[in-house]
């Protein structure tokens, strides 16, 4: 009796340029504002405008309606094994760990304070959103509401979030109360591998599943999600290649199992950077609360991939006393003091 051997295959990702300002090398991520630029969508015409057989013309359509038509045509005309998705990749709002790192300085934070749960005044273990972080998420909620009303923007058909508290809170504040289609309500799925770069920093140690479920009762969990954090280790640091391997794994899971075209992912700065790299997008750092959409072409390719293998995690580097904070500018002192006073 013969045994059929499955042919190996993998997903090849390509970030499709030319649709968003964040695709362009000339766009400065440090000064880019997605809320004043229509999510960065470039105001342009598309080939689908003249080729489409859909009823109606594009002259009276918004830019997002024209873009949605373009994406629809790309999928209709794509070869077998090829699909296009639009990922709205968002970073959580400001967390208490962000404030603490700004206050102490990155060298002292990395080797000393980040291993603590807090300083007696604030807690940054599995960091919650600061009042400023809450305001950032609510501002994005208002922006989505405006885009839905004025642009008829295609809203996410599926929502995913990191399990860390700051992302769960950001996702809830961002999408709750929006005018979403009844068939596509805001019921996010918590995915373990969407979490931040993993190190001994306590801000990246997640809460138990039961805690997340109690605080976000409408959230769902991916199959196999464990009660306790299975990945965080106080003495080890995830290598960048291991993180990229993790990013590829979670993206493969989403692209292979979710037929949605428009997807929201609420994650972290480091994890967003890793995913953008895996997707072939140029480096683009997200500020707290920021969201960027990207158009992704995914092709299932026969054969074995030649991706770099994730390197083993390394030992975390700590110090018994914090190094001196580099002399800050007057503006930085005022900023840090103001943030700490706001928290107190």
* Residue closest to 239 by CA, chosen among 282, 189, 199: 199
The catalytically annotated residue of 147, 196, 238, 245 is 196
State how beta strands 314-315 and 236-237 pair: antiparallel
Question: 184 vs 85, 264, 317, CA distance in Å?
Answer: 16, 12, 45
Helix (H) or strand (E) holding 84: strand 82-91
Q: Is 92 a catalytic residue?
A: yes
User: Would you list the DSSP string of 122-185?
Assistant: -B-TTPPBPHHHHHHHHHHHHHHHHHHHHH-PPPPSEEEE-SSHHHHHHHHHHHTT----TTS-
Contact 126, 208 (CB under 8 A): no
The residue annotated as part of the active site, out of 92, 97, 201, 281, is 92
Whether residue 100 contacts residue 113, with contact meaning beta carbons closer than 8 Å, is answered with: yes
220-221 β-sheet, strand order: 9-15, 291-302, 82-91, 262-267, 158-161, 189-190, 220-221
d(CA 342, CA 82): 50
Q: Is 97 a catalytic residue?
A: no
**Mind telling me the catalytic residues?**
92, 196
């Amino acid at each position: 009796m013969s045994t059929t051997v499955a042919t190996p295959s993998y997903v090849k990702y390509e970030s499709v340029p030319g649709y968003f300002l964040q695709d362009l090398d000339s766009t400065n991520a440090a000064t880019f504002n997605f809320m004043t630029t229509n999510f960065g969508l470039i105001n342009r015409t598309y080939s689908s405008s003249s080729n489409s057989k859909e009823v109606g013309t594009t002259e009276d359509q918004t830019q997002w309606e024209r873009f949605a038509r373009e994406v629809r045509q790309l999928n209709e005309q794509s070869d077998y094994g090829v699909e296009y998705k639009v990922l709205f990749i968002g970073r959580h709002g400001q967390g208490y760990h962000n404030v603490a790192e700004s206050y102490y300085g990155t060298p002292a934070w990395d080797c000393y304070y980040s291993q603590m749960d807090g300083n007696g005044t604030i807690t940054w273990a599995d960091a919650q959103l600061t009042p400023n972080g809450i305001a950032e998420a609510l501002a994005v909620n208002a922006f989505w509401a405006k885009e839905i009303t004025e642009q008829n923007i295609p809203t996410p058909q599926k929502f995913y979030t990191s399990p860390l508290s700051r992302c769960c809170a950001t996702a809830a504040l961002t999408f709750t109360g929006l005018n979403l289609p009844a068939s596509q309500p805001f019921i996010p799925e918590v995915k373990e591998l969407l979490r931040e770069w993993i190190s001994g920093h306590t801000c990246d140690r997640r809460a138990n599943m039961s805690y997340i479920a109690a605080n976000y009762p409408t959230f769902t969990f991916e199959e196999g999600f464990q009660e306790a954090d299975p990945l965080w280790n106080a003495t080890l640091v995830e290598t960048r290649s291991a993180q990229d391997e993790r990013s590829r794994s979670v993206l493969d899971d989403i692209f292979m199992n979710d037929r949605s075209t428009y997807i929201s992912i609420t994650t972290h700065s480091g994890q967003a950077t890793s995913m953008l790299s895996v997707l072939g997008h140029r480096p683009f750092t997200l500020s707290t609360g920021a969201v960027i959409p990207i158009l992704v072409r995914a092709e299932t390719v026969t054969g074995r991939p030649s991706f770099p293998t994730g390197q083993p995690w390394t030992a975390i580097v700590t110090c018994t006393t914090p190094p001196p904070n580099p002399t800050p500018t007057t503006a930085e002192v005022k900023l840090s003091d103001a943030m700490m006073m706001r928290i107190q």
